Amino acid sequence: MADTEQKLIKAYDVDGGGYAKRVTYIIDGNGKIIHVDSSVNTSTHASDVLAVLGL
């Protein structure tokens, strides 16, 4: 997703000094953030997310 105006970067507080920090937000069906992973490890990220979801 392109965030050329940096609205999402600001809204989710992920400004990494000219680029967005790598952060994953898991949002439920009601739009509520239920988990934040701010130390994403790209080699285990998929399994980490699935574990949080109980899958």
State residue 19's pLDDT score.
Answer: 76
Higher pLDDT, 15 or 46: 46
pTM score above 0.75? no
Mean pLDDT of the region 14-19: 82
CA distances from residue 1 to 21, 28, 40, 54 in whole angstroms, order as listed:
14, 20, 18, 27
In this prediction, residue 14 has a pLDDT band, given cuts at 50, 70 and 90, of confident
Produce one character per residue of 2-35: b if its CB has 16 or more CB atoms within 10 Å, e if not.
Answer: eeeeeeebeeeebeeeeeeeeeeeeeeeeeeeee
